[in-house]
Amino acid sequence: MSITLTTWSLEQTSPSDLRPAAPPESGDVTVRRAEVPSPEFARFLYTAVGGDIRWTDRLGLTYRQWQEIVEKPGSEIWVAYDRGTPAGYVELDAQADGVVEIVYFGLIPGFRGRRIGGHLLSCGTARAWDLAERWPDREPTKRVWLHTCSLDGEHAMANYERRGFRLFDTKVEQAEETQTPGPWPGAHA
């Protein structure tokens, strides 16, 4: 079955564009970088966050392909923890000419609606802006960008805009509808 898929691309072009969200009032939420490259952990985060919103593009990757993603210089994964439990993540990818893409961002379903998303996006975006401090061979960040689509969570676009991201492109296409696999097949039937 074919569906209409809208993809929006957004950007910030200065660190001063970032409008941080306040940390969540409840719980003990921290955001830390996963400094040890782990294909297993990266795949866990990807499936746990994206399983119910049709993230399927990486499901067929091999272990080696996951390893290449997490070991790429300038690639970082920042994880939100609520009292020690992973709640969501931001994946950054340093690209050419001082550009950093927020490749993936989201929360595990049980942690949505608790004001963690704005805080995590704020932290992840700030880390995109100062990425060159951790990767001295990279030039300073001049632009941070991301894309979201009509299949993502209902609050995604508003969160990006509240954090200071501006729309620079919109693409509408027909796509094949995919099953929602959950973190593992059948998890969210």
User: Has residue 184 been placed in a domain?
Assistant: no
Q: What is the pLDDT of residue 182?
A: 60
Lowest mean pLDDT among 32-36, 61-65, 150-154: 150-154
User: Has residue 181 been placed in a domain?
Assistant: no
35-89 residue pLDDT tens? 999 999 999 999 999 888 878 889 899 999 999 999 999 999 999 999 999 999 9
- The pLDDT of residue 184 is above 70: no
86-95 residue pLDDT tens? 999 999 999 9
φ and ψ at residue 9, rounded to 5 degrees: -110, 130
User: Has residue 59 been placed in a domain?
Assistant: yes
User: Has residue 135 been placed in a domain?
Assistant: yes
Q: What angle do CA 27, 21, 52 make, to 5 degrees?
A: 70
Task: Give the residue numbers spanning the domain of 161.
Answer: 2-176
User: Has residue 185 been placed in a domain?
Assistant: no
CATH code of the domain in which 15 resides? 3.40.630.30
Structural domain tally of the chain?
Answer: 1
User: Has residue 19 been placed in a domain?
Assistant: yes
Q: What is the pLDDT of residue 189?
A: 42
Q: In sequence order, which residues have a C-beta less than 8 Å from that of residue 27 and are 6 or more positions away?
A: 82, 83, 114, 116
User: Has residue 42 been placed in a domain?
Assistant: yes
Rounded to two decimals, what is the model's pTM? Answer: 0.92
